[in-house]
Amino acid sequence: MVMGLRCTPKFELKSTVLPDVLLQLSIARNAFNGTIPKELGNLKQLTMLSLGSNNFSGSLPSELGNLMELTQIYINSCGAGGEIPSTFANLRKMQLMWASDNPFTGKIPDFIGKWTDLTSLTFQGNSFEGPIPSSFAKLTSLTSLRITDLANVSSNLDFIKDMKNLTDLRLGNALISDSIPSNIGEYNSLQILDLSFNNLTGQIPSALFNMTSLTYLFLGNNSLSGDLPSQKSNTLQNM
């Protein structure tokens, strides 16, 4: 039960809170099923919406694109599938989107590249097709980017060249066909780097092993060349 909000057995939202008052809504970690109610799109002052860990079916309602004040959306393991609605292009204030472990399909939307306030984006364990949009190069505020398990079309790593604020970059099994950027040593805040299970080629940059921030490095199952150094940064725990 959310204060001021209750759900009928048919999962109709009944609220004693005016739509222009409710700012945050979490119904995560329940066993809700059926489709996600389109009426959520009437809560136009919401800044946070959490629907994760439920048993919903169907697609994300396009009406969620009305929530233009949203800065955070959590839809991990919510059960919804299909393509991300085009109306989500309206969510220009988004700072955090976690949308993993769902049967989402189609391409990762190019319009996400216009969410320039975005600091955390997670698309893992879905059924998206590549490539990763080149528009993501504009997301220079990102500190965490996790995109894995892409199909059909390969991507390169050009889009990360200015993401120097990253602390967590996970692109495992994402059909990356490229070499590791030679300037990777300039990512001074990077703590986790996972580029495993891709089609990477070329030399492993020696700078990777001198990064004092890097704690976890995963490069397995690629076609990289070069020798591992006899000495590495003291902070690098897993390699």
| pLDDT bucket at 6, cuts 50 / 70 / 90 | low
- Residue 192 to residue 231: CA distance in whole angstroms: 19
> 133 by DSSP, 3-state: which?
coil
Q: Does residue 61 register a pLDDT over 60?
A: yes
| pLDDT bucket at 22, cuts 50 / 70 / 90 | confident
Q: Does residue 231 register a pLDDT over 70?
A: no
Q: CB within 8 A of 208, min separation 6: which ones?
A: 180, 184, 185, 193, 214, 217
**pLDDT at residue number 131:** 97
- For residues 186 and 4, which has the higher predicted lDDT (pLDDT)? 186
> 235 by DSSP, 3-state: which?
coil
- Residue 42 to residue 24: CA distance in whole angstroms: 13
**Residues found in the chain:** 239
Superfamily of domain 5-225: Ribonuclease Inhibitor (3.80.10.10)
What is the phi/psi pair of residue 163, to 5°? -90, 60
- Name which of 26-35, 69-78, 122-131, 216-225 the model is least confident about: 26-35
- Cα angle 50, 195, 211 (rounded to 5 degrees) comes to 100
State pTM to two decimals. Answer: 0.91
In this structure, what token pair is assigned to residue 84? 């991300």
Distances (CA, A) of 222 to 34, 54, 58, 155: 41, 35, 36, 14
With CA atoms as reference, report the closest residue to 60 among 86, 94, 92. 86
**pLDDT at residue number 200:** 97
**pLDDT at residue number 147:** 98
| pLDDT bucket at 3, cuts 50 / 70 / 90 | very low
**pLDDT at residue number 1:** 42
Q: Does residue 8 register a pLDDT over 70?
A: no
In this structure, what token pair is assigned to residue 229? 């150094």
**Mean pLDDT to the nearest integer, 147-173:** 97
**pLDDT at residue number 18:** 58
- Residue 224 to residue 200: CA distance in whole angstroms: 6
Give me the sign of the Cα torsion angle 83, 86, 89, 91: negative
Cis preceding-peptide flag for 205 (omega within 30 of 0): no
